[in-house]
Amino acid sequence: MSDQAAEWAEAGVRLEVEGELAMVTLCRPERRNAQSPAMWRALAAIGRELPGTVRVVLLRAEGVSFSAGLNRQAFTPEGIPGELSFIEIAKSGDGDAVIAEYQEGFLWWRRPDLVSIAAVQGHAVGAGFQLALSCDLRVVAEDVQFAMKETALGLVPDLTGTKPLVDLVGPARALEICATGRWVHADEAARVGLANLVVPAEELDAAASDLAAALLASPRDAVIETKALLAGAPGRSLDEQRAAERAAQLRRLRDLAGVGE
């Protein structure tokens, strides 16, 4: 194991790359994959280090829970050893930069050249919920339980989860989920659009792998163009979207025909 891989593993993350597929695994099952700034830095580094050949990223977690959220030590006055405590962040003149660095581990999953899939089982709480929301797609086990607990702790979700949550379920339902901190189970997750697919827990890995294989079966450039079209659609009028479709299709036709711009 390289020094970098060992450092990531110590932070609770493992990366495996098989051709066009990358698998990122949260590997602290004994701690229910509780998160820390060290884990977020490792996730950010993995995003930077991914080979350019990777097209699909599969995020999964060992153990009974995807992630129980932020390490509870962060909520003590002392905080997590070696990391800034909440009190120190509040008093720091660089608090905005500190939180921005934490967010880096959650940003790259929706890169335009990738499709990311989260395979989620058990609890996905707070930072765990937001990490699942960072991905393009979510395959969940029947025992999944999402919850956004930050507001109940006097905080707000700040790891980039609010935008995808609102995009998926709308502002009213997102407010209710966040402000109450209640549990969202698999049936509701599927109904409101948080989950693309719900499967028995024992079938989660296979279902996520099958979805990854299906995505890899389509031509890369066509997937990239389609993802961009769909991602931009909510901010466009029908006429603007029609024009975007035409431009994208012409790029694909020219590429397939070997015709320059």
Q: pLDDT, tens digit, for every residue of 63-111?
A: 999 999 998 888 888 889 989 988 899 888 899 999 999 999 999 999 9
| pLDDT (0 to 100) of residue 17 | 97
pLDDT, average across residues 39-49:
97
| Rounded Cα distance, 2 and 22, in Å | 17
Confidence label for 16 from pLDDT (cuts 50, 70 and 90): very high
Amino acid, res. 30: E
Does 260 score more than 80 pLDDT? no
Q: Name the average pLDDT for the chain.
A: 96
Q: pLDDT, tens digit, for every residue of 225-244?
A: 999 999 999 999 999 999 99
Q: pLDDT, tens digit, for every residue of 159-204?
A: 999 999 999 999 999 999 999 999 999 999 999 999 999 999 999 9
| pLDDT (0 to 100) of residue 261 | 64
Decide: 35 and 127 in contact? Cβ < 8 Å: yes
Confidence label for 251 from pLDDT (cuts 50, 70 and 90): very high
CB contact burial 212-250 (16+ within 10 A = b; e otherwise): beebeeeeeeebbbebebeeeeeeeeeeebeebeeebee
Percent of the chain having pLDDT more than 90? Answer: 90
| Rounded Cα distance, 144 and 122, in Å | 4
The CATH code belonging to domain 3-216 is 3.90.226.10
